[in-house]
Structure 1
């Protein structure tokens, strides 16, 4: 199972950040990870549309296989209107995908192309699959803020529609990676979530039972002073000195992000939520506070539940996403040890220095106490102001 903890030295310290990307399958996990999904696919008969036998979660679907899968999963009722032949010169009437291509073309799931070719042999990307799945399932676009930084246009609309239905891949950072080739495991995960979504709807499309709703709750942090502690000041100054050594501007200390970091340090010291199960990481939050608990690395949509913590902790005042570097030491977390651990880890260093997708980070909040340090980073301005 997934375990995002990275040891430094022996077992004395752990540093953690939102990782860039990771495969969900390795070794024996490859055969066990999608056991439930394989059973569901077998029961529905959809497993035959996936290439390879037995089911291989790391194999890939072609465009032809994908349209056949979606046509089988979301059958189209035959109407009285004349069906138009799809204008693809590379799809013959005796091809296996012919019926599915025409059905999905008439349903406007797939569209004509400038070269009049379907390219059925091409492997499907995550972005393409999101678009095809949302259209085949007739999911409507959401007006919610997009969680992913690397999707736009039609792909963004499709991802919004999936998010609205609480259908989502477990990404480990703020990117969807739409250009990555889709795996069988990812295709199955999204498809079964979509089918289960419809099973929980009545004939009018309403939920058959009350669905959990994300609520922003205000944490009891009104007694917090926002003059930094000595250790917090040292940590913040050390991070900014490290940035300046690398030719970067210092980060502004946000009250909201510091408030979030302090709440997480308190929760970590009091309840160690990362120890609740093997898959939980240092980004986890316990159920002992006025926030949404999350086992980071296991719960559905765990990344989003982490990114929105600044909004939860501040009662909705801070509306931007937050991203976190975390550190644990079995004896005591110190500014020097925490920063040293992050500097020696590629993913942590990238967040400190605003590399890649983090380049527009301008604000941070710091907290360090006991065995833990959490530092939160953000892009959005803070309506609560900044630490002097």
Structure 2
């Protein structure tokens, strides 16, 4: 029985170990780097400061894109393990806390998500979509309900037909992601 308990504990730890390995190796694609630059260029046009690229938030952004494309298959801030509902504020924390759950990031994360059907997401399409949505544009430009928040970190993810950008108020101790080979 004791051996069974050890095996059970080891099996429980495997996903966390694999997740840590994935995080350590995380890199961003050229298209993700392009989206990062487009967002900062857009902010500069509005006389807003550049936001530092975050390895942690980029990991979260890519992980969410993968879940959205391969499992959930619809545009939502929900995750398989997070029943986020736009109309229910009691569910918001499971999305905001996702960076702390998946990485060493020490603050909340706030997400803009984008989908295109029948094609792959691109940096240009994602930013155009967010700019055309008042609420998503406000997040990027710190307007209205977002005006008092100071973005110190940004993460970018693009996978298949989804793109997400995550904003955070804390600096990322993990620094910047590297560009994938």
The match for 1:379 is 169
Q: How does 1:137-286 map to 2 (within 5 A)?
A: 218=16, 220-224=19-23, 225-272=25-72, 274=74, 282-286=76-80
Aligned: 1:308 with 2:108: no
Q: How does 1:1-388 map to 2 (within 5 A)?
A: 218=16, 220-224=19-23, 225-272=25-72, 274=74, 282-286=76-80, 292-297=81-86, 301-314=90-103, 317-331=104-118, 332-359=120-147, 360-387=150-177
d(CA) in 2 for partners of 1:253, 1:386: 6
Partner of 2:154, secondary structure, is: strand
d(CA) in 1 for partners of 2:159, 2:110: 19
Bigger RCO of structures 1 and 2 (CA < 8 A, at least 6 apart): 2
Contact 1:258 1:364 in 2 (8 A): yes
d(CA) in 1 for partners of 2:51, 2:95: 21
What TM-score does the superposition give when structure 2 sets the normalisation length? 0.79
CA distance 1:334–1:302, change in 2 (3 Å): same
Contact 1:273 1:284 in 2 (8 A): no
Residue correspondences, number: 159
Give the number of the structure whose residues are more often strand, by fraction. 2
Give the number of the structure whose residues are more often helix, by fraction. 2
Say what the alpha-carbon RMSD is for the aligned residues: 2.1
Contact 2:84 2:92 in 1 (8 A): no
The match for 1:128 is none
Q: Give how far 1:226 is off.
A: 3.9
What TM-score does the superposition give when structure 1 sets the normalisation length? 0.38
Contact 1:252 1:363 in 2 (8 A): yes
Instruction: Find the structure with the greater CA-based Rg.
Output: 1
Q: For structure 1, which runs of at least 5 residues remain unmatched after alignment?
A: 1-216, 275-280, 287-291
d(CA) in 2 for partners of 1:369, 1:262: 7
Q: Give how far 1:299 is off.
A: 6.6
Partner of 2:21, secondary structure, is: coil
